[in-house]
Amino acid sequence: MPQSQLARLLRLRGDLNIDFIESAALRDNALGDPSNRPVAVYLPENYDVEGSKRYPVLYCLHGYTGDVAALVSARPWETNVVQWIDRLISDGKMPPAILAVVDGFTRLGGSQYMNSVHNGNYADYVVDEVIQYVDRVYRTIAREGGRAVLGKSSGGFGSLYLCMTRPGAFAAFASHSGDSYFTYAHPPAFPALHRTLEKFNWNIRAFVEHFERQNKRQTPEYQTIEMLGYASAYSPRSAKAFDLDLPVDRKTGQLVDEVFAKWRAYDPADMCLTKKPELERLRMRYLDCGRRDEYGLDIGARIFTQRVRDLGLKVVHEEFDDDHRNVGYRYAVSMPLLANALEKE
Amino acid sequence: MPQSQLARLLRLRGDLNIDFIESAALRDNALGDPSNRPVAVYLPENYDVEGSKRYPVLYCLHGYTGDVAALVSARPWETNVVQWIDRLISDGKMPPAILAVVDGFTRLGGSQYMNSVHNGNYADYVVDEVIQYVDRVYRTIAREGGRAVLGKSSGGFGSLYLCMTRPGAFAAFASHSGDSYFTYAHPPAFPALHRTLEKFNWNIRAFVEHFERQNKRQTPEYQTIEMLGYASAYSPRSAKAFDLDLPVDRKTGQLVDEVFAKWRAYDPADMCLTKKPELERLRMRYLDCGRRDEYGLDIGARIFTQRVRDLGLKVVHEEFDDDHRNVGYRYAVSMPLLANALEKE
Amino acid sequence: MPQSQLARLLRLRGDLNIDFIESAALRDNALGDPSNRPVAVYLPENYDVEGSKRYPVLYCLHGYTGDVAALVSARPWETNVVQWIDRLISDGKMPPAILAVVDGFTRLGGSQYMNSVHNGNYADYVVDEVIQYVDRVYRTIAREGGRAVLGKSSGGFGSLYLCMTRPGAFAAFASHSGDSYFTYAHPPAFPALHRTLEKFNWNIRAFVEHFERQNKRQTPEYQTIEMLGYASAYSPRSAKAFDLDLPVDRKTGQLVDEVFAKWRAYDPADMCLTKKPELERLRMRYLDCGRRDEYGLDIGARIFTQRVRDLGLKVVHEEFDDDHRNVGYRYAVSMPLLANALEKE
Amino acid sequence: MPQSQLARLLRLRGDLNIDFIESAALRDNALGDPSNRPVAVYLPENYDVEGSKRYPVLYCLHGYTGDVAALVSARPWETNVVQWIDRLISDGKMPPAILAVVDGFTRLGGSQYMNSVHNGNYADYVVDEVIQYVDRVYRTIAREGGRAVLGKSSGGFGSLYLCMTRPGAFAAFASHSGDSYFTYAHPPAFPALHRTLEKFNWNIRAFVEHFERQNKRQTPEYQTIEMLGYASAYSPRSAKAFDLDLPVDRKTGQLVDEVFAKWRAYDPADMCLTKKPELERLRMRYLDCGRRDEYGLDIGARIFTQRVRDLGLKVVHEEFDDDHRNVGYRYAVSMPLLANALEKE
């Protein structure tokens, strides 16, 4: 079978398909996001449709404001996650593996890969539908020991979250600059959330439609939609579109403790304390973060690491001298570790 | 008496003295900061040393990283607080008043105008020593009704703090972008504090000496010294230099709740709840903040305002479209209000 | 024929192919850039391979540091040029047309779509090879009157350059923030060029290899490679890799007039003065630029416009309130004008 | 005689006077700038009014947008030029000397210390009036060999300019990041000049009054007033206020060669070629510049240095790793060299 056009465009040795899955879990979601979703599947060189060899699968989750299209996008002098795995395998730095890039985008910028009465059931979608699809269509090692999950930022969060809440789905994770320790990560954007929505008289729909219409957007507008995205995952109020509990008081902007407590219920830095069994069954746990991360996620990675180690479990934890952006080069560290940790045939 | 050189340099109609006070309250402080402190005293045009007219006094507190020298500094096209009052009086926008600029700088960047076992007793210094000096040397209305306090940023904090803890000292305050609601204001700098001090192996003295030696400093270094300044005011551990409780865990960087609780004990947004009597005796309460304040102090001003109004007291509260820096033009709003609120002869 | 995977990923109504052309013009170029090049061909909805209908073609040239992969890349809330034409046609804002995205990337970041003894013959490649390929494979109006060229930044330059030097290839151009008036555009980067290459002891190859190896790059490094890219187009010294005349004196950094004169020989603002016949035969001439363009290209567009108008020719010239980046929304203005200007069947 | 208040505020060991000179050279200037000007005179510790000891004098020229008040301004952790000389003398790093800070500010931000039909005769003012005043009032070595001139940015320019055009005034200069090689330094701001004045319909007075009225100003507005300041020095059209030749074409923004040629007539990088006699008589020539200077003035310093060395004269030339701002720490290098080069008693 010849390489896909996209694989050639990215100058891969392996191949890259963009498949589409019709998701029951996402059907009729409140935001009107499509239930038909792309999954980008990278196949290593010499992958043989007809052959008998089976491969482990790395599931890659994009970050907030990302999607599958963004993750397979390419720019000169940059290396996307698909190009990284292709190069690592070619260079003999890791064993051949399949990479599946999963789509968790919503109209509010991201689902955090969680089930939400508001957004749809993205956790079900990933774990029940995407995995099943990939196992059915490709030559995978179709069991827990053959699957890992990784991602950056909200994709790192998703990796941690799914491993802690869906035991049996994955045998390893890598969280790059993943959301953790919400105490530092999110409140710095709350003033922007308050100021922006006040301008829209607290009409979230009006703000979102304004946001979508703009040719260019300001930083506070990006911060606002980001906080709305988190609210849609952590503190949805109902299945009605844009019906969300917000962590700021409308009048003053003050933190609303009850709502932020709902958010923190999903903070990996806290969740891990009660998830020893789920974490224990993993073959590998990997976190890293830049020591200049703008969201303080390096602190979050340290707390998670220490707490999981205090549970008696091993964690691979790395830090590096960089900020939150464009840290894709860290895949060169995580993907070989993941692939080596997984079952081979 | 001819104008001072400095008054001429600033092209004032009134006059400007830089006097020095030898402070008992600051004597032998741990940091080795001078106990001999400047106070800049602005005298309005026609102020007559020999005359019988007496004037109300506005006490101006500088912000963090400021001092008296910085506040009387001048730059083309900019207007400092002394130039503002001079212009406002000349233009008939406010009645004549004396302005006294008080020095609260420490080697860690600022005292928050509080008594501290570590820094020295800056509240005593301001209220017991500076006021007494000004009343003794200048033709003031030497009683509560003739005094107001104002400042920007940490100077706004100091104004709030001294009014709430030293009843009888001042009859009015103006807080411009003053520290309030520490929940938003300070934790965003905690990762920088952690990262920087970890590099110095938690030797605060070594960091400070490094900081002082540099020709130029990076943002995280400024954030670090700022947090140390707050720790020296809110959570000093002893009278030993650099012996401070820090709000971050050394190992992970996590928020240390007990220490941050010590900080929050001085948060104006909370303190006001128990300070009705002190606030009630004031003739005027003024707060403003830019609605793009980088520290979220607009939220802090709203919370303070709402809570004090809930106590049944009036607050003048304004917002404007600007960030935290260079908002000296707001003095043009506050100083006339303060001067008009004070007793006249 | 079903839509391509990429068309579905971009949620197009039309279709998108990534074809590859083996270029004779680029063969054995000094930099070792591939002679096998992608061309992305957008086909409007209802395009019928078997039908008889023929379409005009818009040739889109990417900017410096761009390539075909980058131009077809997609991000949430952003609209790439392919998505724009698809939307404009769907919304009835323009007649159906084919869009061909051409690749002019080199190891130095861009070819300016010119023939260069150093880079290879990119003008020949575009005009002789890409056009021929598209006309052969797709249902085009295969003559001058059926073709327009457009692009942003260096892609705008290429559009102007090819229309002025290859009469008969295209019947219209649109230059968005296109390079023009090098006097303002390029010298601001010459100090960075000098400082950076001095560090590499004027070994251009060493710098380029360093540049390629980095995970992240600094602004002066980007400025340097950009200037090298222009030198490779405007002032190559030989067919030996990295053998370029530079517009800065090695010892002082001073402008080298003779070299910069070679650059300016290709400045559209000057070239147009002698290209009346080539410009006259065009059906439409369109330029726009943001009035905050960091390279002063708004000035360049004004000069070009005025001079061409002084030749007695019409120019559509627009300005808008934006800077140089992310101005893809301007395609919504230019593409309908281009498509309407071209021959229909 | 006790220290001045300002000297105490700056915590000097020496003393600091702010004197005022009524200038004939500046009388009735078109812009209405004051003819009564401050000069700040630093006197080293142990300076004895009654004594017989005489001191060399360093004349310090502020930069564009500076003035005497700004140069003697102080901020915590920063060291102004007066504090530097005081510290250097105290530390035994240089012999005692007087420092005189000269005022060359105009309503357009700076005079470049040149005679201008538009601004007034600032060169005469400095050389004929300020020097005479200082020599009359203070215990100076009142001859060429006892005087040096130094400054940063436009103050560096002024130092070079006055040494090249007023032989006999000074025996040495130090130019820190001084304006040189206008080819790189100024055209990058010409688009901003064009865009801003177009908004004001080319009414310079209206723009300046708008500029002065603002509480805050944007970068393009600062760039515009800066270019107007240079025009007032290099290309004034008449003695009528705001009657200036501008280096940009009103219609397109294109460089106007004839006007820019007038500017370049004062470019130190060119002027030096014909000023061998003036430069030769100097005892010391010092230039430095940061190798990240935003205006490319490092290139300008290199060209000047090379050309003067080609004349057979010695130049002390240093570079350092910094940009254009806050490089006052370089005074610690230049002032000892200057003081040592001057005559002692």
Contact list in A for residue C154 (CB cut-off 8 A) is none
For range B336-344, the mean pLDDT? 97
Residue B122 has pLDDT above 70, yes or no: yes
Q: Judge whether C302 is closer than 8 Å to chain D, CB to CB.
A: yes
Are C292 and C168 contacting, i.e. CB atoms less than 8 angstroms apart? no
Residue A227, pLDDT score: 98
Of D194, D251, D306, the CB nearest to C306: D251
Find the residue in A nearest to B180 (Cα): A254
The reply to whether the predicted model has a pTM over 0.80 is: yes
- Does C273 touch chain D if contact means CB atoms closer than 8 Å? no
| Each residue's pLDDT tens digit, D37-78 | 999 999 999 999 888 999 999 999 999 999 999 999 999 999
Q: What is the mean pLDDT of the segment spanning D134-151?
A: 98
Q: Span D191-219, mean pLDDT?
A: 97
Average pLDDT of span B242-250: 98
- Pairwise CB contact (< 8 Å): C187 & D191: no
Which pLDDT value is given to residue A1?
66
Average pLDDT over residues A190-206: 98
According to the model, what pLDDT value does residue D3 have?
A: 93
> In terms of CA atoms, which chain B residue is nearest residue D209?
B77
Q: In terms of DSSP H, where are the helices of C186-249?
A: 190-199, 204-213, 219-234
Those residues with Cβ within 8 angstroms of residue D234's Cβ, 6 or more apart along the chain or in another chain:
D112, D114, D262, D263, D265, D266
Residue of D246, D244, D260 whose CA lies nearest to D195? D246
**pLDDT mean across residues, chain D:** 97
Is pLDDT above 70 for B1? no
D73/B77 touch (CB, cutoff 8 Å), yes or no: no
Angle between helices B204-213 and B219-234 (to 10 degrees): 130
Mean of pLDDT over chain B = 97
Query: Average of pLDDT values for A237-266?
Result: 98
Residue in C with minimal Cα distance to D290 = C195
Q: How far apart are CA B162 and CA B126, in angstroms?
A: 9
CA C198 to chain centre: 30
Q: Report the distance separating Cα B111 and Cα B230, nearest Å.
A: 8
Residues A27-75 pLDDT 10s: 999 999 999 999 999 999 999 988 899 999 999 999 999 999 999 999 9
**pLDDT class for D344, splitting at 50, 70, 90?**
confident
- Residue A288, chain C, CB below 8 Å: the answer is no
**Residues of A whose CB is below 8 A from C21:** none
Whether D77 and chain B come into contact, CB under 8 Å, resolves to yes
Task: Give the separation between CA D231 and CA D259, rounded to whole angstroms.
Answer: 9
- Split at pLDDT 50, 70, 90, the class of D1 is low
Nearest C-alpha neighbor of A324 from the set A300, A301, A299, A292: A292
Q: Are B303 and A190 a contacting pair at CB < 8 A?
A: no
**According to the model, what pLDDT value does residue B49 have?**
86
- Mean pLDDT calculated for residue range B148-160: 98
Q: What sign for the dihedral angle of Cα B164, B165, B166, B167?
A: positive
| pLDDT tens, position by position, A132-185 | 999 999 999 999 999 999 999 999 999 999 999 999 999 999 999 999 999 999
Q: Give the nearest chain D residue to C220 (CA atoms).
A: D292
Is the CB of A252 less than 8 angstroms away from the CB of B299?
Answer: yes
Q: Which residues of D touch C221 (CB under 8 A)?
A: none
Task: Give C124→chain D minimum CA distance, Å.
Answer: 32
Computed over every residue of chain A, the mean pLDDT equals 97
ipTM, 2 dp: 0.96
| Cβ contact A217–C38 (<8 Å) | no
Helix intervals (H) in A100-181: 122-124, 131-137, 154-165
Q: Give residue D345's pLDDT.
A: 81
What are the pLDDT digits (tens) for C255-308? 999 999 999 999 999 999 999 999 999 999 999 999 999 999 999 999 999 999
Q: Could you say which of D65, D68, D329 has the minimum Cβ distance to residue B215?
A: D329
Residue that the structure tokens 């060493």 belong to: C206
Q: Using the predicted structure, report yes or no on whether residue D127 has a pLDDT greater than 90.
A: yes
D15 beta partners: D43
C66: chain A residues, CB-CB within 8 Å: 75-76
Query: Measured between CB atoms, does A320 come within 8 Å of chain B?
Result: no
pLDDT at A239 over 90: yes
Task: State the average pLDDT over residues B285-311.
Answer: 98
Which is it for strands B98-102 and B36-43: parallel, antiparallel or unpaired? antiparallel
Q: What is the mean pLDDT of residues C40-69?
A: 96
**Binary contact (B183, A306; C-beta < 8 A):** no
Q: How far is CA B6 from CA A316, C69, D1, in A?
A: 62, 64, 18
Task: Using a pLDDT cut of 70, give the percent of chain A over it.
Answer: 100
C218 touches chain D (CB under 8 A): no
Inter-chain touch D191–C254, beta carbons under 8 Å? no
Test C191 with D293 for CB contact under 8 angstroms. yes
* Burial class, A2, CB count within 10 angstroms (exposed 0-12 / middle 13-18 / buried 19+): exposed
Whether C1 shows a pLDDT value over 70: the answer reads no
* Banded pLDDT at D138 (limits 50, 70, 90): very high
pLDDT at A49: 87
* Per-residue pLDDT, C2: 82
- Residue C298: closest CA among chain D residues belongs to which residue? D191
Q: Does B187 touch chain A (CB under 8 A)?
A: yes
D18 touches chain B (CB under 8 A): yes
CB count within 10 Å of CB C157 equals: 32
Which other chains touch chain B, taking contact as 3+ CB pairs less than 8 Å apart?
Answer: A, D
- Give the residue-averaged pLDDT of C13-22: 98
Helix (H), strand (E) at residue C334 = helix C331-341
Over residues B152-180, the mean pLDDT reads 98
- Which pLDDT belongs to residue D49? 87
pLDDT digit string, tens, across residues C153-173: 999 999 999 999 999 999 999
pLDDT (0 to 100) of residue B345: 81
- How close does chain C come to D179, measured CA to CA in Å? 14
Does B74 sit within 8 Å of D73, measured CB to CB?
yes
- Put simply, the answer to whether B69 touches D75 (Cβ < 8 Å) is yes
Q: What is the DSSP code (8-state) at residue B215?
A: S
- Give helix C190-199 / helix C204-213 axis angle, nearest 10°: 90
Partner-chain contact D195 C292, CB within 8 Å: yes
pLDDT for residue A2 is more than 90:
no
